[in-house]
Amino acid sequence: MWLFFDHTPMKHLKNLILIVATAIILVLIATTIIESSKGTPFVRQNIYSSLWFILLWAVLAVAATCYIVLRKLHRTPIVFLIHASFLVILLGAFASWNMSESGNIHLRHGESTNLMKNSEGEPEELGFKVALKDFCVVTYPGTDAPMDYVTTLSADSHDIKVSMNNIGSYQDYRFIQSGYDSDMQGTTLILYHDPWGIAITYCGYAMLFISLIAAMFSKRTRIRSLYRKALSQQGSKALLPLLLLTAPALVPSASAQERVKIDSNIADDLGRICVLYNSRITPLNTVATSFVTKLCGKSTWDGLSSTQVFAGWIFDVPYWETVKMIEVKDSKAQELLGISGKWASFSDFWDSYNNYKLDAPLKEAYKKGDTKLQKQLRDADEKFNIIRMLYGGEMLKMFPYTDRRGNMQWFAPGEPLGNISLDEKELTFIKKSMDYLAESIITGDKTRAEEIAKKIYSYQHVRAKSVVPTKFRILTEILYNRINAHHFPVILYLTISLLLAIVSTVSLNNKKRKVASTIGSALIWVMLVHTTLLLALRWYVSSHLPMSNGYETMQFMAWATLIVTLLMQKRFLPIRQFGPLLSSFALLVAMITDSNPQVTQLMPVLQSPLLSVHVMVIMFSYAFFGLMALIAIQGIAAHYRREMEQESRLAALSQFLLYPAVALIAIGIFIGAVWANVSWGRYWSWDSKETWALITMLIYSAPLHSDLKWLRKPLHIHIYMLLAFLSVLMTYFGVNYFLSGMHSYA
């Protein structure tokens, strides 16, 4: 890497690069904040597309090129190729900014045009005619959830097929699906013409990938010396802050009044019945788990399983409407409902005149734009409405019917069937089976109740065999619900890993540290098996890699951290100490963020292997960054305890881990760019999430340059690594909660 030169022109050039790079980072940070208030069009026009912003990058590129030449980096081919690849990527970005064209066309069935509307809304000649031959929405089997949008075009007798993750192209124009007419007879397409920018940028990506991989194995880069230094003197001591773990508050049990007993075997049979819920065919057990967890924050109540509780709300409404199992956290909502404490019954939501108590306050809040009151009442209102959804049959669409055209509908018990052509016996079964089931449960006839539940299950497999999940898949999803519902293992992992980290770093007794190390290794394997099982089951149940939302990516980060720990624990003791702790925190964040995330069908645009690889690579980089932050805390503690050798060794370990971490985030960013180009037609759009990923990469790239004087001291490295982790937290959490952008699903 670069060496420090005291030559004045070289020093001035280096300072210029540092100042411009810092300015770019600050501008990017400020722009993402401005975007959340002023909107995306404003920042794109006034900042990202402005001449001064382009010149800022140009100055950085020219200064870096001069430095590369003066430093004769070509003598170190891998380092030269890494820096050259970034220059090529910037050149491609400039070509896209300067030479690309974009616009949109709207076509009705059979219509043709040779014009597109550009970004200013003005018509622009294409140079060829394009016509709409066909448009259709492909749905998931047996549901109305869109799986894909497919447009077939004709351009000069050439057929062009456009769908999500499948861009059509003709004469260097790229056609991207954007929208469609409500009558399904028209489609809207975005057009991009950017042959040079994409080609040059992709060359830069290829150069970057090859050079980063080569750098990991080269003997001529700084990574080897850091590796040897990090391995020296494995003993370590540090002061860690003790965290107070508070036990969860005890929740009240249901009242002791008489209720209809739902036998566990009957509940199990009910749980295997499939329903159409949230545009997905799923076991009733999944709906029940979601329902109960939403109401009270856990999947069981008073010793009853989620399916038993859910069945109670169906077959014993008067009793369950009086049970105080609805958790109302906000004091304002508690006050309006007239309850003391945080537990309410469904009856508490109604006044003596049978009016919904929160209805008037909510309407007034929305009328006046009182966002604070809206937020205070929203959670309680959602819980009230989920019960109303159950009463309205939205969670009980269990009877499939296929019409002559092959379209499948699902009906809830008691729902009007309309003009469907079924024989009288079958119609009676659909209309009366749940009534018979309720009668059997209330009278205690378990045998008859189980028989009716099994008949409904069998009926579904006869009438919707092609779309109803197999018995094995249903049982797998129920198993996943049961394993995932238990939060105790996460608390146990966090407690043990915290205690082990304290013992391993504070204790001077080698015997205690050896025992802690053995327990730590066993804990890593237990956590890895548990996390792998959860991810594998969710993958199988959802039929896609579980990396489509915040909950899933945090679970994957926990798994990635354990993999990194397992591979490196024998060489680097601090990683063994902190790996399980970081993984436990990731699992805890996943649990807190969404205690019961629903398995849903993927949005069409997310159905891409590139997206899965992009998320995997990025999460592995975050795992490294998280470990480096924990090592930094230990290093700072070592400094103030005047253990300079330990402080230096930990700094070397952080710098060693920095290489794969930066390589992974860089590779993850350009894989994400390729996915965006395939899905959206643009490889870079300055979305807040991708902008913050770039900011994170730029911030963490600085310590890789050994000629930066202020990053030569171990303490400065530790402080920098700890502060740099704030950019990771902002990228992962801050963008989702505080900023705007297309990555809200993440």
- One DSSP character per residue, 125-161 reads EEEEEEEEEEEEEEE-TTS--EEEEEEEEEETTEEEE
Residues 289, 431 within the same domain: yes
Confidence band, pLDDT 50/70/90 cuts, at residue 604: low
Residue 253: which residues within 8 A CB-CB, separation 6 or more? 302
Q: Provide the sign of the torsion angle of the four alpha carbons 348, 353, 354, 359, taken in this order.
A: negative
The pair of structure tokens assigned to 601 is: 């069908």
CA distance 302 to 296: 11
Is 184 among the domain residues? Answer: yes
> pLDDT, tens digit, for every residue of 280-323?
888 999 999 989 988 888 888 888 898 999 988 888 888 898 99
3-state secondary structure of 116: strand
Is 467 among the domain residues? Answer: yes
Is 602 among the domain residues? Answer: no
- One DSSP character per residue, 506-560 reads H---HHHHHHHHHHHHHHHHHHHHHHHHHHHHHHHHHTS-S-SSHHHHHHHHHHH
CA distance 506 to 10: 46
> pLDDT, tens digit, for every residue of 640-693?
878 788 788 888 888 888 888 888 899 889 888 888 887 777 778 888 888 999
The range of the structural domain enclosing residue 708 comes to: 608-746
CA distance 136 to 576: 53
Residue 695 has pLDDT above 90, yes or no: yes
Is 446 among the domain residues? Answer: yes
Residues 62, 171 within the same domain: no
Instruction: Report the mean per-residue pLDDT for the chain.
Output: 79
Residues 311, 440 within the same domain: yes
Residue 118 has pLDDT above 60, yes or no: yes
Is 482 among the domain residues? Answer: no
Is 567 among the domain residues? Answer: yes
Last residue of a domain, one of 427, 445, 474: 474
Residues 21, 41 within the same domain: yes
The pair of structure tokens assigned to 493 is: 């992992």
Residue 713: the pLDDT is 85
Residues 89, 110 within the same domain: no
Residue 700 has pLDDT above 90, yes or no: yes
The whole-model pTM stands at: 0.66
Residues 88, 42 within the same domain: no
Residues 687, 542 within the same domain: no
3-state secondary structure of 190: strand
Residues 674, 534 within the same domain: no
Average pLDDT over residues 350-363: 85
Residues 462, 588 within the same domain: no
Domain tally, the chain:
6
Residues 622 and 629: beta-carbon distance below 8 Å: no
What length is written for the chain? 746
Average pLDDT over residues 565-594: 75
Residues 77, 13 within the same domain: no
Residues 622, 591 within the same domain: no
Residues 202 and 94: beta-carbon distance below 8 Å: no
> pLDDT, tens digit, for every residue of 485-495?
777 788 888 88
Residues 45, 29 within the same domain: yes
Is 125 among the domain residues? Answer: yes
In the chain, the amino acid numbered 651 is A
Residue 710 has pLDDT above 80, yes or no: no
Last residue of a domain, one of 450, 474, 498: 474
> pLDDT, tens digit, for every residue of 38-81?
887 888 888 888 889 999 999 998 988 888 888 777 777 888 88
Q: Which secondary-structure segment (H or E) carries 295?
A: helix 284-296
Last residue of a domain, one of 595, 627, 646: 595
Is 481 among the domain residues? Answer: no
Chain-centre distance for alpha carbon 276? 24
Residue 19: which residues within 8 A CB-CB, separation 6 or more? none
- Integer CA distances (angstroms), 400 to 276, 284, 428, 526, in order: 9, 15, 14, 42
- One DSSP character per residue, 491-503 reads HHHHHHHHHHHHH
In the chain, the amino acid numbered 479 is L
